[in-house]
Each structure stands twice: as C-alpha cells, then as structure tokens.
Amino acid sequence: MTTCSAPGKVYLFGEHAVVYGEPAVPCAIERRARVTAEKRSDAGLRVNATDLSLDGFTVEYGDGDGPPNVDAPRSLVEDGMSYVEEAVTQARDAAGDPEAGFEVTIESDIPLGAGLGSSAAVTTALIDAATRELGTPLAPREIADRAFRAEYEVQDGQASRADTFCSAMGGAVRVEGDDCRTVDAAELPFVIGFDGGAGDTGQLVAGVRRLREEYGFAATTVESIGALVRSGERALADRDLSELGRLMDVNHGLLSALGVSSRTLDDMVWAAREGGALGAKLTGAGGGGCIVALDEGDGARTALSYAPACQEAFRAELATEGVRVEDP
C-alpha cells in the first residue's frame, strides 16, 4: 500500500492569455489530494473516494465486462472516474504491467470543480502511488508528463500542462506554451474564496476566442496580460508582495474586460481587498468558482467568510513541495 499526495493550484497571473502563447504563473497551494494505491491480485480496480465533495462515493470495477457498481451521483462519478482510469492506464504503461489491478482510496481537501486543479492533483498523486506500488517509481517530471497525458485523454485534448506540472513539481511555475519551469518565489500568503459554483471552462475559453478574433483591442488585452505577467515575474523574484497584489488587481480587471468574471467573483474580490488584501483576482477559467487574494494577515479571509457570495474561505500558502509520499 502506497500513499502519495499532490497539491492543487491557483493562477497568480495569466490564465486565458496562456492559451494564446503568453506566459502565465500558476502556483501550487497547500491544499492536497491524498491517494492510496494497493496492488490487487487481479486486474480489477476499486475506487473509494471520500471528501471529494460533501458526499463521498465508491465505485467498484470488476475485471469482467459488466458495468461498475456505483454508489454516488452518476455525473460526479463519471467526471472523477475518468481521471482515475487514465491515471491507472499511465501507471500500468510506465511499469510495463498492463494487467495490474488496484485498490484506490482518494481523499482531498481541494474543493472539486472549483478551478483549483483537484483533478490534476488526484491524477498526479495516483500515478505516483500506483507506479511506486508496482516497484517503478518515476521522477516528478515524468509523473507530470504522464499526468498531463491522462488529463489530455479525459479532456479531449484541452488539457493544460501547467496544472499537472504544478501538482507534480510544486512551487511557483512559469508556463509559456508547452514549456513549464518552476521559478524562485517567496512565501506567498494566498487566501482563497470559493463561491460554491463553477463556470463552464469550454464556453469561457470560446468566449475569449470569439472576442479576440472579433476585436483587435481584445487581442491587445490578451497581450497586455502577457506583459503584466512579465512584470509579475520580476515582482516574484524581488519578493515584492505589494507589487504582486497590485498586479493581481490589474489582472482581474483585464480578465473582466475579456468577459470571464462574474458577480460573485467580483463580490469576493472586493471583499478580500476591503479586508486588507494586497490584491485579489479570479483564478482559473472564471465565470464562477474561486478568487485568490494575497494577505499576510487574517483580514481578507475574515472579510470573505462574511461575504454572502463566498461559500468557503481559506488560507492556502504556496506549496513548495509537489507530489510526495505520505504515511498511509
């Protein structure tokens, strides 16, 4: 039995623009998915997921052809199980053991479907745990790559390398096209607000694409985000938290201009700022979901916890470690 964990992530800067080749800076956060894999004597796969949402679920796949025995809402299971299956496929492939079966237990304190990279964290931790269980541990970069391939399969080619790279490597990451690298960063006192909802990533990305194709100034706005990210990289290197906050505020406005904010996201951004955050922005695809703020004190979290739009507010420091083995 092997347990591994991997962190979720927020975008400090650059979501959406990254689709068009601009750099972005996602950061791993101290909210983790923990996955335990135990090799079975047969080729079956049994998945036990708790804390993935308010209700856990269990799915049992036989090694035959029958449908899995499911004890959870179907859509949630379909979403979650696709990642588990693809991660197991990657682990089997890496170990050269296509018949390996597993008992898998998943726990996560990353809100599901909130844009915090819960699927990447689960996929990454599972690949690490399963390959270790098969006696063929992989280097983190290889785990990142295989986790990306798993997400790529599940998401019909729409996966971002950044999510899985963040989960596998930890820290602050610079992504530009297919190139991901960790960058030196100070401690980043992130505070996250979650509105309990989620935007439709596909629709949001398509909306930005249409806007960008139709209007030169929207294409320019995407480029402005790229330029802002480059300023953000310098602020990160200088450990200048005030500057990072200021740039986060501007980044949020530019994302609003691209049409991907929402009433609840704006509400939370203002609550965090009024609570004393150095800056705040939506993180991820937008349309709902999470904001990330930078605050060394407790004001932003407190303000968020009182904001009607906010369902959950919590601290999540920069996670300097990526995927790692845990005590079971």
Q: Which residues are catalytic?
A: 163
Cβ 288 to a copy of itself shortest distance, Å? 13
CB of 223 to a copy of itself, least distance (A): 7
- Nearest-angstrom CA–CA distance, 27 and 167: 9
Q: Which residues pair with 25 in a beta bridge?
A: 13
For 316, phi then psi, to 5°, come to -155, 90
What's the closest the beta carbon of residue 171 comes to a copy of itself, in angstroms? 25
CA distance 91 to 147: 9
Beta bridge partner(s), residue 35: 4, 106
* Strands in the chain per DSSP E: 2-13, 25-40, 45-50, 57-61, 69-71, 101-108, 172-176, 179-183, 190-194, 279-283, 290-294, 312-315, 324-326
Q: Which of 230, 219, 282, 280 is nearest to 255 (CA)?
A: 282
Between 17 and 159, name the residue whose CB sits nearer to a copy of itself. 17
Task: Name residue 194's beta-bridge partners.
Answer: 290, 312
Residue among 116 and 208 whose Cβ is closer to a copy of itself: 208
Give min distance, CB of 213 to a copy of itself, in A. Answer: 13
Comparing CA positions, the residue from 26, 32, 25 lying closest to residue 8 is: 32
**Which residues of this protein are in contact with a copy of itself, per CB under 8 A?**
211, 215-218, 220-221, 223-225, 227-228, 231, 249-259, 261, 263, 266-267, 270, 274
Q: Report in angstroms how near the CB of residue 166 gets to a copy of itself at its nearest.
A: 24
Please answer whether residues 10 and 169 qualify as being in contact, where contact means their C-beta atoms are separated by less than 8 angstroms.
no
| Helices and strands, counts by H and E, the chain | 9, 13
Smallest distance from a copy of itself to CB 152, Å? 31
Comparing CA positions, the residue from 311, 280, 313, 310 lying closest to residue 295 is 280
41: alpha, beta or left? (left if phi > 0; alpha if psi -120 to 50): alpha
Minimum CB–partner distance for residue 176 and a copy of itself (Å): 16
CB atoms under 10 Å from CB of 319, counted, come to 25
104 phi and psi angles, rounded to 5 deg: -120, 130
Residue count of the chain, please give it: 328
Question: CB-wise, 8 or 275, nearer to a copy of itself?
Answer: 275
Instruction: Give the number of C-alpha atoms closer than 13 A to the C-alpha of residue 253, restricted to the C-beta side.
Output: 8
